């Protein structure tokens, strides 16, 4: 039978000699490998004190953006929910009422917007699909939680604070 790759190694099936039966060369070889690893740099990062450098294309928590006047950019078009392969985004649209022009940019806005972080695969398709640049992925981690409801982020958790109020 022909091998599929060139990585095949022949197995040595000859009987062991006296020195090999003592297993001393194998033990010394293993101890040498262990001794070499003692002086190598540790791969562990002491997290609270040290932070690991991330790639510039790292995708973390989602944020709903506002425009320069503090109005919500999201128009509840649903493209982000359609583009999400994990179906982690749900939203409900509502019509803007008279007098709410300072809150929302368009006539339609997202009355409720939820992202289930347990389903999210952080692919960034929602960010690419949004025509208004309303959603983007930041460089922060999703914090840990003890219950499943803590991983479902609503609109008030995702919206950045109003720049005019702060």
pLDDT tens for residues 112-141?
999 999 999 999 999 999 999 999 999 888
Is 10 inside any structural domain?
no
Residue 79 lies in a domain: yes
Residues 33-60 have a mean pLDDT of: 86
Domain enclosing residue 154, as ranges: 62-158
Q: Tell me whether residue 109 is in a domain.
A: yes
- Is 52 annotated to bind a ligand? Reply is no
Q: Is 136 inside a domain boundary? A: yes
Any domain includes 31: no
54 is an annotated ligand-binding site residue:
no
* Domain contains 92: yes
| Domain at 129, CATH number | 3.30.70.3270
Domain count within the chain: 1
pLDDT surpasses 70 at 1: no
Query: Annotated binding residue at 22?
Result: no
Confidence of residue 52 (pLDDT cuts 50, 70, 90): confident
Least confident of 11-20, 25-34, 74-83, 107-116: 11-20
Nearest in space to 114 (alpha carbons), one of 152, 80, 140: 152
In Å, how far are 3, 47, 58, 118 from 115, measured between CA atoms? 48, 27, 19, 9
Is 126 annotated in a binding site? The answer is: yes
User: Percent of the chain scored above 90 by pLDDT?
Assistant: 43
Q: Is 105 annotated as a binding residue?
A: no
137: β partners: 62
Whether the pLDDT of residue 78 is over 70: the answer is yes
* Residue 52 within a domain: no
Instruction: Assess if residue 102 is contained within a domain.
Output: yes
**Does the annotation list 5 as a binding residue?**
no
Residue 161, marked binder = no
Cβ neighbourhood burial of 29 (10 Å; 0-12, 13-18, 19+): exposed
């Amino acid at each position: 039978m022909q091998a599929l790759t060139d990585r095949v190694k022949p197995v040595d099936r000859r009987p062991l000699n006296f020195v090999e039966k003592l297993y001393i060369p194998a033990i010394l070889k293993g101890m040498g490998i262990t001794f070499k690893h003692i002086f190598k740099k540790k791969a562990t990062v002491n997290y609270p004190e040290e932070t690991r450098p991330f790639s510039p294309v790292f995708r973390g928590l989602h944020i709903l953006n506002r425009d320069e006047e503090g109005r919500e950019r999201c128009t509840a078009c649903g493209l982000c929910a359609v583009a999400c392969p994990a179906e982690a985004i749900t939203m409900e649209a509502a019509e803007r009422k008279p007098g709410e022009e300072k809150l929302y940019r368009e006539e339609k806005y997202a009355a409720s917007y939820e992202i289930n972080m347990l389903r999210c695969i952080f692919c960034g398709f929602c960010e690419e699909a949004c025509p208004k640049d309303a959603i983007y992925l930041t460089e922060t981690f999703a914090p840990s939680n003890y219950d499943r409801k803590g991983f479902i982020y609503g609109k008030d958790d995702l919206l950045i604070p109003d720049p005019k109020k702060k």
